[in-house]
Structure 1
Amino acid sequence: MKFYRIKTIFLKELTEIFRDKRAVAVTILVPIFLFPICFKILTSSFWNRKEVSVLVPVLVQDCKEEISFVLNASGTFHFVKDEIPEDALRKGRIAAILHCFYAKDLPPQIIVTIDNSNQKSIHSASKIMEEIKKFSDTTAPSLNLKSYKIELKTVNDPLVGAGSLLLSLLLPTLIFLFSAVAPMVIAGDIFAGEKERYTLEHLLSLPLTRIDLILGKYSAVVVMGIIGVFAYAVGLMISYVLLIDVIRLSGIAFNISIHSVLKISSIAVVLVMVFSAAEFAISIVSKSVKESQLLSIPLIIVSVAFGQSSYSLDIWNIDPIYRFLPLANMSILLKETIVGFPETKWILLAFCESFLLIVLMFVICRIFLSNEKYSVKY
C-alpha cells in the first residue's frame, strides 16, 4: 500500500466528481436551498395565520363571573356551549373545559380538562393557567383568585395521550420518507440500468406497446416499494422493542386501532405509488443509474418537507388550501388518522389527487420513451 497511489486515485475521482455539475448541484446546492424553500412555503400560511388574533374556544361550567372576566380580559379565549363537552373536546370543537367547584369549608377549585393528544388543547391549558396566575398576582380586590385551587385533568390516560401526540408528530414524516426511499433503488435502475446495459433497444424492439412496457415495469417498482416500506416499519418496531429503555419511551403507550392501522397502510401504499411514478419518470429521463439516483435526492428532500408540513398544523382548523396540495393533504390525513377523526371526503380527494399525479408521470414517461431510438411502433 503506497500513500501516493491512494492520493492519486483520490484526486482523480474527486476531479471527475466535480466535473459532473449535476452531481455537485444535487449533493451540495440542493440540500442547502431546497430544504429552506420547502419549509418556508409549507409553513408560511400557518405562521402568517398564527400572527392573526385567533380566539381559542373554551367551555366554562359552573364558574363565577371573575373567571369569565379573567379569560375575556386576556383577549385570547371565547366561550362556547355544547351539550356533550367531552365529545366536543375530543373532536376539537373546543380546546379546554373549565369546571368550577365551590364548597363551604373548602377553597374554590377550577378543574381544567384538556385533550392531551392535541397540541392546541395542551397549549390552551398553559395559557389558561398563565392568565389566571397573572390576575391572581394583581392587586385588584374584586378578583380574589389566589384562593382558587387549579387542577389539570386529561380526557386520555397521560401515557396514551403522550403516545398519540408523539405518533401524530413523527409518523407522517417517517412514512413519507420510507415511501420515497423504498422504491428509489429499483426505480433508478429500471430504465437507466437498461440503458447502461444496452438492453433497452431490445425491449423496445419487442412486439409490445410503450404503455405495456411502462405499466409492467412500474408495477414491479410499486410492489418492491410497498415491500420496502413495510420492511422499514418492521425494522422500526424491532428497534423500538430493543431500545425502549435506551430512548426512554418505556412509559409511553401507543394505543392505535386496527382500523387506523389499515387506513395508514392504505395511505402509505398510495404514497409509494406516487413516489414510484416520480422516480420511474426520473429513471426514463436519466442516462445512467448514477444520474437517476442523483436526480431522486431532491424528491427525498421534498418528501421529508411534506411529511413535516403537518407538524405545526392544528388539524381541527386546516386552511382549505392544504387539502388541494396532494402530498400536504396526505400528511394531514396521516395525522388525523392517528388522532382518530379523518373525514372520508378528504381521503377520497387525496386519492384522486394522487391518481392524477401518477397519470401525469405516465404521460411524461410516454413522451420521453417515444424519443428513444430503435423503438418500434405497434
Structure 2
Amino acid sequence: MNMKAIMIVFKKELTDLLRDKKTVIVGILIPLIIFPIMFGLIGRSVEGNIKKTSENLKIAIQSQDKSQLAVFLKSQKNITVVDSNDIKKDVQEGKIYVGLIIPQNIEESIKDEKSAEIKIIYDDTSQNSNMACNIIKSLIEEYSKEIVKSRLMSKGIDYSILTPINIKEEIAAKDEGGFGKFMLSLLLPLMLIIYGMTGPMAAATDLGAGEKERGTLEPLLTTQAGRMSLLFGKLLSITVMGFMGTVSSIIGLMIGVKAGGSVFGGDMPLLLSPITVIMIGIFVLLIIMVFGALELSISIYARSFKEAQTYLSPLTIIGMAGAYGTYMIDVKNVSTILFNVPLANVSLIIKEFIIGIYNPLHIGMTFGWNLVYIFLAVLFARYMFSKEEVIFRA
C-alpha cells in the first residue's frame, strides 16, 4: 500500500465528486436548504395557529339563564362568542373551536354551595379546537377558584387554607439554556447518526457502481496504484464528502431551528462549547468512516447505480433504529452496558456531551468499539475489492 498513491487517488476522486453536480446537490446543498425550509414552515405555521387561536377564540355558549360564567367568558378580550343553532355540527365543521353547554340552574347550585356540571364540546382531531379547549378549561378553573374564595371569605375562613404548601422552583443546572440543551439532546444525535450514515452514500454509490456503469473502474485498476491504494483513496474521499454532507445538514438544521422561531427555541445553536463541538465531530467522523466503508463495499458488489441504491436502502432503517432506540433515554441514569451497542453508544455519548457530561469510561468504550467497527468494515471493503468476480460483476 503506497501512501503517495493513496493521496493521488484521494485527490482525483474528491475532485471528480465535487465536479459532479448531482453528488454536490444531493449530498451538500439539499440538506443545507431543506431544513431551513421545513423547520421555518413548521415553526411559522405552528406560531400562526397559536396566535390565530389565542387572539380570536371563537366559541359558542348555550345557556338558558344569563349565568355569571357566561358573562365572565364574554368579558375576556380574546374570546369571540358566536351564535350557533347546532354546536356539535359547528365544532366539527370548524366554524367554532369550542362549544359550552351551561346548565339552567348553575347560579342556584353555586348559591347553594353545590357543584355544577358544564359540558365542553370540542374536536380532538383539530389542533385549534384542542388548544381552545385547554384555554377555556383554564379560564373556568380560574372562575371556579374565585367562587371558592368568595365562599370561604363569607364564612370568615382564610383562602390560603387551600394552599398549605407553596412550591418554589429552582433549576439545578449549572448554566442557562437547559431547555434548549434538552431539545438538542433529542434532535442532534438522531440527525447526526442518520446523516452520518446517509451522507457518504451518494459518493460511495458513485465511486463503486457509478464507475462500473461509466466503464472507468477497469482503466483505474490498470494504473500503477495497487488495489488497496485505490480502496483507501476512495474511502478517504467518501469520508470527506460524507463529513461535508453531515456538516451541511447540521448547519441547515441550526438555521431551520432559528427560522422556526420560539417553537423550536431559537437560541439552541449557541449552546454548545467549542470542545463539545469537536468531541461530537470526532464521533460523527467515526460513524461516517464505518458506513462509508460498508457502503463502498455494497456499491462495488452491485452491477449498476440503481442496484446499489436498492442494496443500500436497508442501511437507512438500521441507522434510524439505532438513533431512535436511545431517543428518550436519560443519559444521567443510563446503563454502561448500552455503550457496547453499535450506534446506540454514539447517540448516547453525543447526548452526554450536549449536557456537559464527559465520562472517560463511556468515551473510551464508545471510541474503542467504533475503531473495531471501522477495522471490520475496512476488512470487508478490502475483501470485496480484491475479488475479481465482484469487481467485474456485470
Q: TM-score, normalised by structure 2?
A: 0.54
Cα deviation for residue 219 of structure 1 reads 0.6
Give the root-mean-square deviation of aligned CA atoms: 2.7
> Conserved in 1, the CA contact under 8 Å of 2:209 and 2:304?
yes
Aligned AA (1:342): Y
Query: In structure 2, what is the equivalent of residue 314 of structure 1?
Result: 330
1:255 and 1:285 map into 2 onto residues whose CA distance is 43
Distance 1:216 1:253, change over 3 A: closer
1:251 and 1:153 map into 2 onto residues whose CA distance is 21
Among 343, 346, 350, the alignment partner of 2:359 is 343
> Conserved in 1, the CA contact under 8 Å of 2:276 and 2:353?
yes
Matched, 1:184 2:201: yes
1:235 and 1:190 map into 2 onto residues whose CA distance is 26
1:90-130 per-residue CA deviation (whole Å, 9 max, x = no partner) reads xxxxxxxxxxxxxxxxxxxxxxxxxxxxxxxxxxxxxxxxx
Q: After the TM superposition, which residues 227-242 of structure 1 pair with which residues of structure 2 at under 5 Å, given as runs? A: 227-242=244-259
Q: Which has the higher contact order (CA 8 A, sep 6+)?
A: 2
Query: In structure 2, what is the equivalent of residue 275 of structure 1?
Result: 291
2:219 and 2:189 map into 1 onto residues whose CA distance is 42
Among 198, 209, 217, the alignment partner of 2:215 is 198
> Conserved in 1, the CA contact under 8 Å of 2:283 and 2:346?
yes
Larger radius of gyration: 2
Q: TM-score, normalised by structure 1?
A: 0.56
2:372 and 2:323 map into 1 onto residues whose CA distance is 20
Matched, 1:325 2:317: no
Matched residues, number: 232
Query: In structure 2, what is the equivalent of residue 116 of structure 1?
Result: none
Matched, 1:289 2:305: yes
Matched, 1:372 2:388: yes
Q: Which has the higher helix share?
A: 2
Percent of aligned positions with the same letter in both sequences?
33
- Decide which moves more: 172-181 or 309-318: 309-318
2:231 and 2:267 map into 1 onto residues whose CA distance is 49
1:47-66 per-residue CA deviation (whole Å, 9 max, x = no partner) reads xxxxxxxxxxxxxxxxxxxx
Among 174, 177, 184, the alignment partner of 1:160 is 177
> Conserved in 1, the CA contact under 8 Å of 2:300 and 2:384?
yes
Cα deviation for residue 276 of structure 1 reads 1.0
1:292 and 1:308 map into 2 onto residues whose CA distance is 25
1:346 and 1:159 map into 2 onto residues whose CA distance is 25
> Conserved in 1, the CA contact under 8 Å of 2:205 and 2:308?
yes
Cα deviation for residue 228 of structure 1 reads 1.1
Distance 1:374 1:181, change over 3 A: closer
> Conserved in 2, the CA contact under 8 Å of 1:284 and 1:369?
yes
1:168 and 1:248 map into 2 onto residues whose CA distance is 13
1:312 and 1:223 map into 2 onto residues whose CA distance is 31
> Conserved in 2, the CA contact under 8 Å of 1:163 and 1:254?
no
1:285 and 1:329 map into 2 onto residues whose CA distance is 29
Q: After the TM superposition, which residues 1-378 of structure 1 pair with which residues of structure 2 at under 5 Å, given as runs? A: 147-156=164-173, 160-244=177-261, 247=263, 249-250=265-266, 255-372=271-388
Distance 1:152 1:197, change over 3 A: same
> Conserved in 2, the CA contact under 8 Å of 1:315 and 1:332?
yes
> Conserved in 2, the CA contact under 8 Å of 1:285 and 1:368?
yes
Q: Which runs of 4+ in 1 moved over 6 A?
A: none
Cα deviation for residue 157 of structure 1 reads 8.8
1:169 and 1:222 map into 2 onto residues whose CA distance is 25
